[in-house]
Structure 1
Amino acid sequence: MRIALIQMTPGTERAVNIAQAQSLVAEAVREGQAELVLLPEVWSCLGGTRDVKLAASEVLPPPGEKGGELYEALRTMALEHGIWVHGGSIGERVEQEGETRLANTTLVFSPDGHEAARYRKIHLFDVVTPNGDGYRESATYVPGEEVTTVDINDVCTGLAICYDMRFAELFLALRAADVKMLLLPAAFTQQTGEAHWEVLLRARAIEMQAWVAACGTTGWYVEADGTERQTYGHSMVINPWGEVVLQLGAEPSWGVAEIDIELVEKTRQRMQVQENRRLI
């Protein structure tokens, strides 16, 4: 399977972001013969005020029904190109206790435009980074509750988003579900990206003995208070032995890697970690 990482520099203008995504996806299919594309986290609106994020979000329809602009843009990419589309993540508008909130939500569409999976980010990014920058994702977003897998071309695939990668118990649950590939969109900060992005992703691939494809945003965006923040990029694909087989740089771009699913079983037979596991 040929998988394309669609590395973007999104801002707060939803229409501009959609056009950027459509252009990069079309190039990846035309020039890279991609069969599956992976977009980054919150590519539809990065930065801005809470109201801006809410305005750029949408209520998701029941699977099989017509959705809003973002939903239909992703579904149309799948249909027009005849490919699997992992929609990174977008803002899903939800009502909780009488208040309008957001969920950080992944959508996966099959080549016939069918919604194959929906996943809400479980772990919210409420941290202060070493340089003093504060992030409080829970001020706007609600957490997901369910570990989610999807069959993509008969490959059991796990779903996670960005900060999820720091929580090994999620990936142990995905390994117990026999996932052979993990798809992870992100908007990783520049500082934590330089320190932890590659080492964490390689660790997840090694412990699951599965393919990991991680697609990040890159470049600068502006927060509600005018603070400029930089995301790391360096989207990558890692094989089940922990080797990086594709890595992008710090510019908006796309890249394609060939995923050999047979390598998963070869790796697991060579080192039978799951059979040796004693602690859950």
Structure 2
Amino acid sequence: MRVSVIQMNQGSDKAANLAQARHLVAAVLQADRPRMVSLPETWTNLGGGRDARVAAAETLPEPGGTGGPAYEAMREMARGAGIFVHGGSIVEQGAEKLHNTTLVFDPEGREVARYRKIHLFDITGPDGTGYRESALYEGGAEIVTFEADGTRFGCSICYDIRFPEMYLALRRAGAEAIFVPSNFTLMTGKDHWEVLLRARAIETQCWFIAAASWGSYEERGATRQVYGHSLIADPWGQVVACCSDGTGWATARLDRAVTERVRRDMPVLEHRKLA
């Protein structure tokens, strides 16, 4: 299966973000003809503060129902091109707080997975900038997998990557490839992004598919930067496709024979003693 990660430079203008996503997906379909595309974390909104996030939030429909602009855009991307669309994540309106939520659509435009980010980004960065995702968002509680063309995929989002027990649980649930759509900060990304993704790939012997946001955005009067460098890593931990700076995409073919060989020759899951 050919999979493409889309790298965006989104801001707080939801309509402009939707247009950017449509443009990039159309371009990668023409250039690389992937079977599946993946968008970054909160690709419909980055920055602008609380009001912009709330304005970007969508109430998700019951299966088969009609959703908001981003929901329907992803559905149409999938159905129109006959591909799987992993929607990175969007802002979902919850009962009391927001959710940071992944949606996946099959080639018929049917929703096949819905994952709410479990680990919330409440940290102080190396430059002293504070991030408090829990002020607006409520974390999810369940891991999620789905099947596409005979391959089992696992879902995660950004800060989840720092919690290896989650990825072990996804591997045990049958995952052969795992998504990590992200808005990694520039300061943490330059030191940790590739290291963490490759480590989780090696530990789980899964493909890692990480679409990321790149560039600067405005947040409550300050300019913040996200790292980008979207990538795909194989089960041996090698980066097989990546983006540099700027918007764009990277594409790789997920080869199940590679997964099977790595797991056969080094059966680490069978050798585990503690967890």
Query: Matched residues in 2 for 1:182 and 1:262: separation?
Result: 17
Residue in 2 that maps onto 1:191: 187
| Residue 145 of structure 2 corresponds to residue 149 of structure 1 | yes
Residue in 2 that maps onto 1:172: 168
State how 1:88-237 maps to structure 2 within 5 Å.
88-96=88-96, 101-224=97-220, 226-237=221-232
Q: Comparing 177-186 with 103-112, which one deviates more in the overlay?
A: 177-186
Residue 113 of structure 2 aligns to a residue in which SS? strand
Residue 142 of structure 1 aligns to a residue in which SS? coil
TM-superposition CA deviations, 1:84-140 (whole Å, max 9, x none): 0000000000112xxxx2100000000000000000000000000111010000011
How far has the Cα of 1:240 moved from its partner? 0.4
Aligned length, in residue pairs: 275
AA at the equivalent of 1:232: Y
**TM-score (ref. length: structure 1):** 0.97
AA at the equivalent of 2:254: I
Aligned match for 2:243, one of 224, 231, 248: 248
Query: Matched residues in 1 for 2:251 and 2:171: separation?
Result: 25
How far has the Cα of 1:258 moved from its partner? 1.1
Residue in 1 that maps onto 2:84: 84
Structure 1 runs of 4+ off > 2 angstroms?
Answer: none
Residue in 1 that maps onto 2:252: 257
AA at the equivalent of 1:120: R
Structure 1 gap ranges (5+): none
How far has the Cα of 1:52 moved from its partner? 1.2
State how 1:57-76 maps to structure 2 within 5 Å.
57-76=57-76
How far has the Cα of 1:41 moved from its partner? 0.2
How far has the Cα of 1:256 moved from its partner? 1.1
Query: Matched residues in 2 for 1:58 and 1:175: separation?
Result: 30
CA RMSD, Structure 1 to Structure 2 (Å): 0.7
| Residue 34 of structure 2 corresponds to residue 13 of structure 1 | no
Query: Matched residues in 1 for 2:68 and 2:175: separation?
Result: 31
AA at the equivalent of 2:255: D
Residue 4 of structure 1 aligns to a residue in which SS? strand
AA at the equivalent of 1:105: T
Residue 185 of structure 1 aligns to a residue in which SS? coil
TM-superposition CA deviations, 1:30-65 (whole Å, max 9, x none): 111111000000110100121111111110001211
Residue 178 of structure 2 aligns to a residue in which SS? strand
| Residue 36 of structure 2 corresponds to residue 36 of structure 1 | yes
Identity of aligned residues (%): 50
